[in-house]
Amino acid sequence: EVVLTQSPGTLSLSPGEGATLSCRASQSVSSNYFAWYQQKPGQAPRLLIYGASSRATGIPDRFSGTGSGTDFTLTISRLEPEDFAVYYCQQFGDSLQYTFGQGTKLEIK
């Protein structure tokens, strides 16, 4: 089973600042099947990034994803108040299994 470890667990920043969220896989995963989600309290997760770097429909260009192999990054430039939420990474592997990271909480400083 591929384990995804996200860091940091909590990130405290101010609106207008930039954010860098990390997701590390326990073994190499396909970037084609790697995604990031945003979840706000009481809501279902929302797809942000798929294929490691492609923005989903309607996602602002301040969100960007990079990475390959075992290391992936979600970058949010110029944080807006609505960006403060929990972010999850997700991968789909050869064993036809999905795994999620444990989440990074982005909170207002």
Partner 1 sequence: QVQLQESGPGLVKPSETLSLTCTVSGGSISSYYWSWIRQPPGKGLEWIGYISYIGSTSYNPSLKSRLTISLDTSRNQFSLTLSSVTAADTAVYYCARAVGSTWHFGLWGRGTLVTVSS
The site for partner 1 (CB under 8 A) is made up of 1, 32-33, 35, 37, 39, 43-47, 50-51, 56, 88, 90, 92, 96-103
Question: Residue 96 Cβ, how far from partner 1 at the closest point, in Å?
Answer: 4
Residue pair 36/48 in contact by the 8 Å Cβ criterion: yes
Which residues, 6 or more positions from 69, have their beta carbon under 8 angstroms from its beta carbon?
A: 25, 28, 29, 31
Question: Residue 10 Cβ, how far from partner 1 at the closest point, in Å?
Answer: 13
Q: Is the Cβ of residue 40 or residue 78 nearer to partner 1 in the bound state?
A: 40
